[in-house]
């Protein structure tokens, strides 16, 4: 018996629909669980006080500070490097063997899993360069890790700046760098910002690469050579060593909320840019 194609069509449509909602449902369930279990733990004292007894009591203030330090410093290093690379790839060369080589490098960096970054950061920064488990080693490792994201998004953003803008600038006798600095970069800024926000999100959620470079000291890192821990690492240690499920959920809420907030801003900026250019 042959099934009417129209019936198959509606059945499939329904099935695909269900699977799409199922996927989004997973996201909603994850967020809901974290919020329902974690929110009762979170208050000002939790955010602003120091942990006591390995995190069994008290708050997560050093972990929050450590996360912010790590994310901001990595972005500070990765942004000029990444945007500079993107400018070079889009404005200063044609496609050649050299650009292909650089693109290969960027693609390869993007494909390396974070545990290998951890392994590399551990042997290179922590051991060979004698930084020890420190904020600096974490920052440098993370900088390399987020570089590909910043390069890719910046390159796309710079490419989407209309050619006419550049031509007008040149016709006013601006030099190449002046054109880039005053015309191209401002126009590409929203796209670049999206990349930066996504990278911050990645930095905040990263664990494997950080735990072996920045270490997991519970003290507040006061210098670049101090060890510290991020919220993600703190959460991992609380959960894995079964120190305190309540505090783990509480940390998870702050962690997931910050990442959602950062990523939503990123998509908001991106959508606005897309709307402007299309």
Partner 1 sequence: MIDRTVLKEQFVKWVLIAFALSSLLFLFLIFAFILGEGLPLFLKVGVKNIIFGMKWAPTKGYFGIFPMIISSFLVTFGALVIGAPLGLSCAIYLSEYSGKKMKMFLKPAIELLAGIPSVVFGFLGVIYIVPIVRNYLGGSGFSLISTSLVLGVMILPTIISISFDALVSVPKTYREASAAMGATKWQTIYKVIIPSAKSGILASFILGMGRAIGETMAVIMIAGNALKIPTSILDPLRTLTGNIALELAYATGDHRLALFSTGVVLMLIIMILNYIANFGIKRKIAK
Q: Which of residues 126-155 bind partner 1 (CB under 8 A)?
A: 128, 144, 147-148, 151
Question: By CB under 8 A, is residue 73 in contact with partner 1?
Answer: no
- Of 43, 47, 175, 186, the residue at the interface with partner 1 (CB under 8 A) is 175
Segment lying near partner 1 (by CB under 8 A), choices 42-50, 65-73, 221-229, 255-263: 255-263
Closer to partner 1 by Cβ: residue 22 or 44:
22
Question: By CB under 8 A, is residue 187 in contact with partner 1?
Answer: no
* Sequence-distant (≥ 6) Cβ neighbours of residue 146 within 8 angstroms: 74, 75, 78, 82, 199, 202, 203
Question: By CB under 8 A, is residue 76 in contact with partner 1?
Answer: no
Closest separation between CB of residue 175 and partner 1, Å? 5
The angle at the Cα of 145, spanning 120 to 48, to the nearest 5 degrees, equals: 100
- Of 116, 167, 172, 274, the residue at the interface with partner 1 (CB under 8 A) is 116
Closest separation between CB of residue 46 and partner 1, Å? 18
Question: By CB under 8 A, is residue 167 in contact with partner 1?
Answer: no
Closest separation between CB of residue 264 and partner 1, Å? 7
* Pairwise CA distance, residues 243 & 226, whole Å: 24
Closer to partner 1 by Cβ: residue 18 or 48:
18
- Of 65, 88, 165, 265, the residue at the interface with partner 1 (CB under 8 A) is 88
Each residue 17-56 as x (binds partner 1 by CB under 8 A) or -, in order, gives x-xx-xxx-xx--x--xx----------------------
């Amino acid at each position: 018996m042959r099934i009417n194609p129209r019936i198959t069509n509606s059945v499939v449509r329904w099935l695909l629909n269900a699977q799409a909602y199922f996927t989004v449902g997973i996201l909603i369930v994850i967020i809901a669980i974290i919020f329902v279990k974690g929110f009762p733990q979170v208050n000002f004292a939790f955010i602003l006080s120091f942990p006591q007894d390995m995190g069994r009591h008290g708050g997560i203030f050093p972990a929050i500070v450590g996360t912010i330090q790590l994310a901001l410093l990595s972005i500070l290093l990765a942004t000029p490097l990444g945007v500079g690379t993107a400018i070079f790839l889009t404005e200063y060369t044609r496609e050649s063997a050299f650009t292909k080589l650089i693109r290969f490098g960027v693609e390869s960096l993007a494909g390396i899993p974070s545990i290998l970054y951890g392994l590399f950061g551990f042997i290179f920064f922590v051991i060979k360069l004698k930084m020890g488990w420190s904020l600096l080693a974490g920052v440098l490792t993370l900088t390399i890790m987020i570089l590909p994201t910043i390069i890719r998004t910046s390159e796309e953003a710079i490419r989407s700046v209309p050619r006419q803008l550049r031509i007008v600038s040149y016709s006013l006798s601006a030099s190449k760098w002046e054109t880039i600095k005053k015309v191209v970069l401002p126009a590409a800024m929203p796209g670049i910002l999206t990349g930066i926000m996504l990278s911050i999100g990645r930095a905040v959620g990263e664990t494997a690469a950080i735990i072996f470079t920045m270490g997991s000291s519970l003290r507040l890192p006061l210098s670049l050579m101090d060890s510290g821990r991020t919220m993600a690492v703190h959460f991992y240690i609380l959960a894995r060593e079964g120190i305190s499920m309540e505090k783990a959920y509480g940390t998870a809420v702050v962690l997931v909320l910050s990442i959602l907030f950062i990523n939503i801003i990123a998509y908001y900026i991106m959508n606005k840019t897309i709307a402007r250019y299309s």
